[in-house]
């Protein structure tokens, strides 16, 4: 059978055909433009050229800002690791240094170029998406089996580490409210928010500290993770109530809380079984898509209810078994995007809102000292007292208190909510950011000092 082939064109003929193709296209375009010049456009004016140029400029500047943010986060994250600090704290510090606290003070022209208002707005959108996905991951990391196996002492220790700092925060509001509260902020809302802000423990940062110190499987590590998990769930429930009260009239607040309860029941009764079935499917890509759609819808639902999108994402992640293939796939496929790109954008967005220059004078710095002292005394004291009451040895109880004093990223999320709702003034926001940094940076050095050369203890057995 004869092959259906033709002889190949020589190089000269191929070049000639190529030139003829280009010439033909050029002639057709010239003829069309010459014959279409008399035509009139039928649509209303659209401002041709202006919007396109503006969008391109914004995208270019946003990408430049993201590149700078990611570079500073990575560099400071590695630097912090050398000082036995969680890399995420270097990323937090990098975001703050890019704001008015350093870059805007030392090189204001560069700050104005990188973080113009339109870039900051786009950065804020990315930051909010990143935090929503991050809270979804926090929910994924919760081990409900560990909570069930730890006994009643865990609940006592965890809630003691909430009640005492909450009470000290409420007492502190008597002094801070006349100094820093806005005229439209009711005292009870201000007090509730300060109490919750003092009560937060950063579960993910605490887990990283335990891993870095090779303590995650020790008796102390297991107890700390369990207490932090209970602490986080309780604190976020309290914050949801505070937001409902802060953003509504009394009747609307009751309505918001009822809708929130209905949402929780819906997720637990209807959505949770569906997500658990997904863990047995073979199509991992389809599983990821369905899980993400559910998390986004959950976030949108709680935002519409009035308790912020973060709570929906957190609850949705919490009902997915943390050790399932679905949870592992979600973490493997999305964790890099969130941790390398979106969370640094949140840190920078927080840094742009943090200006240490606002804290001026003896009274302001006395406020910083008082907030840090109340936060440390409340968390450490409440945890230590409850742990000792449960029969835990003194040094272990003290180490647990230091670990529970870790606030980190979770505190920054809470503070940004307070600033957006105008519960916190920019100055008080900066004071609490300094508290979050101080309590988290101090955790590892104090923990190493307390533990000394003691050997790891076996993991806690079920109580």
Taken in order of first residue, the domains within the chain and their CATH numbers are 65-451 (1.20.1530.20)
H/E stretch holding 49 reads: none
Structure-token match 């927080």, residue found: 350
Q: Is 65 helix (H, G, I), strand (E, B) or coil?
A: helix
Instruction: Tell me how many degrees the CA angle 97-100-106 measures, rounded to the nearest 5.
Output: 80
Helix spans in 149-218 (H)? 152-180, 187-199, 203-212
pLDDT number for residue 251: 75
Question: pLDDT digit string (tens) for 223-245?
Answer: 888 888 888 788 888 888 888 87
Q: Which two tokens stand for residue 347?
A: 């840190």
* φ, ψ (nearest 5 deg) of residue 453: -105, 20
Residues 6+ away with beta carbon under 8 Å from 20: none
Q: Which two tokens stand for residue 389?
A: 């009451």
Q: Which among 238, 236, 256, 224 is positioned nearest to 315, based on CA atoms?
A: 236
Q: How far apart are CA 300 and CA 291, in angstroms?
A: 14
Question: pLDDT digit string (tens) for 296-339?
Answer: 999 999 888 887 888 899 889 888 888 888 888 888 888 888 88
Q: Which two tokens stand for residue 38?
A: 């008399």
Question: pLDDT digit string (tens) for 88-131?
Answer: 888 889 999 999 998 999 999 999 889 999 999 999 999 999 99
Which of 111-125, 263-277, 363-377 has the least mean pLDDT?
Answer: 263-277
Question: pLDDT digit string (tens) for 282-302?
Answer: 556 677 788 888 889 999 998
pLDDT number for residue 433: 95
Which of 11-25, 164-178, 248-262, 373-387 has the least mean pLDDT?
Answer: 248-262
pLDDT number for residue 454: 55
Mean pLDDT for the chain overall:
84
Q: How far apart are CA 179 and CA 371, in angstroms?
A: 13
Contact 397, 438 (CB under 8 A): no
């Amino acid at each position: 059978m004869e092959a259906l082939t033709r002889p190949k064109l020589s190089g000269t003929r191929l070049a000639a055909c190529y030139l003829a193709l280009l010439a033909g296209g050029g002639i057709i375009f010239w003829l069309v433009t010459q014959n279409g010049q008399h035509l009139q456009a039928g649509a209303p004016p659209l401002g041709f050229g202006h919007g396109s140029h503006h969008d391109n400029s914004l995208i270019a500047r946003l990408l430049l800002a993201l590149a700078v943010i990611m570079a500073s986060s990575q560099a400071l994250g590695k630097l912090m690791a050398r000082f036995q600090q969680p890399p995420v704290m270097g990323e937090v510090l990098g975001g703050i240094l890019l704001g008015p606290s350093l870059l805007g003070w030392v090189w204001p022209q560069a700050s104005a170029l990188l973080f113009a208002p339109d870039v900051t707005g786009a950065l804020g959108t990315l930051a909010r998406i990143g935090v929503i996905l991050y809270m979804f991951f926090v929910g994924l990391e919760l081990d409900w089996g560990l909570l069930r196996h730890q006994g009643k002492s865990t609940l006592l220790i965890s809630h003691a580490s909430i009640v005492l700092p909450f009470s000290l925060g409420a007492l502190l509001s008597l002094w801070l409210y006349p100094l820093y509260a806005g005229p439209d902020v009711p005292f009870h809302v201000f007090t509730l928010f300060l109490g919750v802000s003092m009560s937060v423990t950063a579960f993910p940062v605490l887990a990283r500290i335990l891993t870095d110190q090779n303590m995650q499987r020790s008796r102390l590590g297991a107890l700390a993770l369990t207490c932090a998990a209970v602490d986080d769930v309780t604190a976020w429930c309290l914050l949801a109530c505070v937001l409902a009260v802060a953003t509504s009239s009394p009747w609307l607040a009751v309505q918001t809380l009822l809708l929130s309860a209905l949402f929780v029941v819906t997720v637990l009764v209807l959505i949770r079984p569906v997500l658990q079935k997904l863990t047995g499917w073979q199509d991992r890509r389809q599983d990821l898509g369905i899980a993400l759609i559910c998390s986004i819808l959950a976030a949108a639902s709680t935002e519409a209810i009035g308790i912020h999108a973060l709570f929906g994402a957190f609850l949705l992640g919490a009902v997915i078994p943390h050790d399932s293939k679905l949870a592992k796939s979600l973490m493997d496929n999305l964790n890099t995007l969130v941790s390398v790109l979106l969370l640094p954008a949140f840190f920078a967005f927080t840094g742009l809102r943090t200006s240490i220059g606002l804290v001026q004078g003896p009274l302001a710095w006395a406020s910083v000292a008082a907030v840090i002292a109340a936060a440390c005394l409340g968390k450490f004291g409440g945890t230590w007292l409850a742990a000792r009451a449960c029969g835990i040895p003194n040094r272990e109880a003290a180490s647990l208190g230091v670990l529970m004093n870790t606030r980190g990223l979770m505190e920054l999320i809470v503070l940004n909510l307070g600033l957006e709702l105008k519960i916190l003034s920019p100055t008080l926001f900066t004071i609490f950011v300094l508290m979050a940094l101080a309590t988290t940076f101090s955790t590892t050095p104090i923990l190493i000092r307390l533990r000394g050369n003691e050997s790891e203890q076996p993991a806690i057995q079920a109580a």
